Amino acid sequence: MNVYNRIRTLSLLKTLFINIFSSRYVDVFFNIIMTTLISLHSSNVDFTSKKWVILLVMYIVITFILNFLFILAGHIKQKEETLIEYYNISYDIQSRMNRDTAAQLYRVNKKITQTIRDGKMEKQVINSIADFQTFSFKICNELYNFITSSFNCGECEVTIFQRFMGKDNKDFVKMIAYKNSRNMEAGSYHDTYKLSHQASTKVPVFVKVFNDLNADIKILHNRKAVEAEFKYFDHSMTREKKICQYIGIPIKTNRNRVELLLQIDVSKEKAFGKNYNAIKQLADNIILPFSNMLYCSYERDLIFDKFYDILEENTITKGGE
């Protein structure tokens, strides 16, 4: 409780500081006061007086500090207003996507009702109405459009990877959706990547994220960090070597493993922010809600798929009888 009160107090003090020192009226008022004081003090010049010199220095220092605080408060306010603008844009996107999903589920409901009534199951037709992979492509497209327009970044790629179980009972991951500035298929779209590997082997950064049971968001805030973590692929080396910032948001399910990964990379310096903390704030507050939508769609798709199988089996049995 004490920690909560301390955080709340600091938040209130920060808000008070921004409201006071970002005000143009306060800025003008203090500058007029300090200019007047300095002018009155300078009207009686006496460099031989130590007291006069000290007082003049004090006025100048106070003026400098006040103006610095005005600039700082204005900068913080501008950053917060920009973040609020991102909130509003992402909220509108997610609201629209949720409305579309609701409409699709309504169509699924009608189709299932018709299936039960007619005794004829068309699993692929029903599944195509609210398909997880289709939704994943929508997420990629919406995020890509949001990033390129809001951050003025043309060189961007958004991808989604999913975990699968191989025939040898070993897990592997595969890209299931993408969107990039080249309007062409991502180089790794048809490739699969095993999650098991030797400790000394350098693996793609997304494999590391899938193997991280803590499911921490992966942030590479500059090109140096990207070069240290990335394993470049021959078919996309030219593009990947231009990457300046990377965000990887793992989705850990209740099955206690990372089953999905939402990735974003940009080829523009400081596109998402100047440092790690700025990009982490963006990832936590703006990008993470999109991954939560992806997680919800993923689990819904698993439930629907089982339900369709049961419905198909019962429909066939009923038809056979």
Least confident of 102-106, 163-167, 199-203: 199-203
Say yes or no to pLDDT of 7 above 60.
no
Q: What is the pLDDT of residue 123?
A: 66
CATH class of 134-283: alpha beta
CB 205 within 8 A of CB 233: no
57-80 pLDDT, tens digit each:
888 888 888 888 888 888 778 787
pLDDT-based confidence at residue 321 (cuts at 50, 70, 90): very low
More confident site: 198 or 216: 216
Q: What is the pLDDT of residue 96?
A: 93
Q: What is the pLDDT of residue 165?
A: 87
Mean pLDDT of 137-148: 94
CB 254 within 8 A of CB 214: no
| Rounded-to-integer distance, Cα 263 and Cα 26, Å | 44
Say yes or no to pLDDT of 241 above 70.
yes
249-262 pLDDT, tens digit each:
999 999 999 999 99
More confident site: 180 or 51: 180
Q: What is the pLDDT of residue 2?
A: 57
Q: What is the pLDDT of residue 111?
A: 79
Say yes or no to pLDDT of 198 above 70.
no
- The per-residue pLDDT of the chain, averaged, comes to 84
Q: What is the pLDDT of residue 5?
A: 60
For the chain, the structural domain boundaries read 2-83, 134-283
Mean pLDDT of 215-238: 90
Mean pLDDT of 198-225: 89
